[in-house]
Amino acid sequence: MRERSWLGFAASSGCSGLSPSPTMSFMMTSGIAKDPAQYPVLRNLQFSPIKQGEDQLIVLWDPSGLSKEKLVLPLNFFFVVQHFDGEHSIQDIGALYLKRFGEFLMPNKVEQLVVDLEHKLFLEGPRTETARKQARSAYRQQPIRQAAFAGRSYDADGVKLKKQIDGFFTSGDGPDFKPSENRGKLIKGLVAPTYDLKQAGPVYAWGYKELQEAQQPDVYVIIGTAHAGLEHFFAVTDKDFETPLGVVPADRTIVDQLKGLVPECCDEEIAHQTEHAIEFQLPFLQTIVGKPFTIVPILSSFSATSLSDPTVQVSADRFLDALREAMAASGTTVCVIAAGELAHLGMRYGDSAPPTDFSFHRAMQRDLEMLKPVEELKPEEFTQFIQKENDQRRISGFSPIYSLLRLIQAEKGQVLRYDRGITDQYNSTATYASLAFF
């Protein structure tokens, strides 16, 4: 079962009550087959509020990359698509629309919207499933995982990219030149952002400076957030990764053993094709690691609250136990890198209003409290902290960080740098940090 987006989805409309979240994940719950033309099911989409003049609109897109389309909707139509969950018929939605807006919604308008969404591959159904199978086949035939964000989130020219990475270290917000207190020790783990490099590059650099000065391992197990969600919570690929700085080889020994122990972990490897979480780490590794190395590319997607479901906990345990066994059997030194962000605040992420200075500073305090059990390598306390909040701050990097804490054996961790990025016109905010473990 696909893990519902790491934040919930609250159906409402109107500027004051709009509660968009970054990922919509709707599932059939009754187990009864229904006509998809009358009971449409929206795919796992991301969306964000935008302004055009005095109007507030919603733009939707597909984070998996299966569809390259975008769709801009007025708020009343956004209200409609929120109910494309396989449980509400077009007739049901019309009744809800009448109750909400006090006017009739013509069925032919909804039917045309369904046709448009199906054409854009925004709905579950035969058309989308065929496209999904074709995409999986095409990905398997590719010799490498090609760079998807070069030229967009970082420089596409290798020489310029090297200078860009170096600039993150030397910028005013980057790490200072004081030697690390852990210099020469074997590094066991890192937490790094997945935010756009042009904004968060110096925060990445704080973590990778520790790796630069440490005794460097042979293998880097990179566990990144799967922002589009996953059915099996983890997705592994055996493909080498390309960047403008060259090709980073996957560690076939560990990946092959994982395939043998948990074969379903490779069922969703296509998720790697358009996910940036791992790709953003590689230019730093290629720049600072002074010897040949391999990576184990893993995406993950489950929330702290979902671990209260025994089936989710068992599934996570099974994969992490297998990965720990494969790492030990490889006979190599390994560093685990957890790539993910922390809190998400604002209308893009489900709040009814933009964040204020007070709400951001309160979230920062909570983030730093939440990271104390991470520094102390206490995965259960980290989980419980978020569960007690009911994940209200939407910690998207939970699953990579939790996995790191379950995998490594270290004496201590340390928060190195903390910051935030602004993601839209409404000051929606994502927070992130770098940590190192020795």
At residue 11, the pLDDT reads 29
Q: How far apart are CA 296 and CA 255, in angstroms?
A: 7
Q: Are residues 113 and 157 in the same domain?
A: no
The residue among 110, 141, 172 that closes a domain is: 141
Q: Same structural domain for residues 400 and 259?
A: yes
Rounded to 5 degrees, what angle do the CA atoms 245, 155, 147 make? 55
The first and second tokens of residue 262, run together, are 């948990």
CATH of the domain at 266: 3.40.830.10
Number of Cα atoms under 13 Å in the Cβ half of residue 153: 20
Specify whether 427 is located in the same domain as 369. yes
User: What is the tens place of the pLDDT at every residue in 327-367?
Assistant: 999 999 999 999 999 999 998 898 889 999 999 999 999 99
Last residue of a domain, one of 125, 141, 157: 141
Do both 174 and 293 map to the same domain? yes
- What is the predicted pLDDT for the residue at 32? 60
d(CA 17, CA 353): 8
- What pLDDT, on the 0 to 100 scale, is given for residue 35? 83
Residues 8 and 97 in one domain: yes
> Do residues 26 and 168 share a domain?
no
Q: Fill in the amino acid letter for 409.
A: Q
Q: How many domains does the chain have?
A: 2
Contacts of 24 (CB under 8 A, 6+ apart): 5, 9, 42, 44, 45, 46, 47, 82
Is the domain of 110 the same as that of 259?
A: no
* Domain final residue, candidates 141, 173, 208: 141
- DSSP codes joined into one string, 331-374: TS-EEEEEE----EESGGGT-SSPPPHHHHHHHHHHHHHHHHHH
How far from 165 is each of 152, 162, 428, CA to CA, in Å?
A: 15, 5, 26
The pLDDT of residue 121 is 96
For residue 312, the enclosing domain spans 145-437
Does 345 lie in the same domain as 241? yes
Q: Check residue 352 and give its pLDDT.
A: 86
The phi, psi pair for 171, rounded to 5°, reads -70, 165
What residues in the chain have per-residue pLDDT under 70?
A: 1-33
pTM over 0.85: yes
Angle between helices 379-388 and 398-407 (to 10 degrees): 160
The helix (run of H) or strand (run of E) holding residue 101 is helix 90-101
Q: Does 125 share its domain with 98?
A: yes
My answer on whether 149 and 137 are in the same domain is no
CA 39/CA 382 separation, integer angstroms: 39
Are residues 234 and 313 both part of a single domain?
yes
For residue 415, the cross-strand partners are: 435
> What is the pLDDT, as a whole number, of residue 227?
92
Do 274 and 206 reside in the same domain of the chain?
Answer: yes
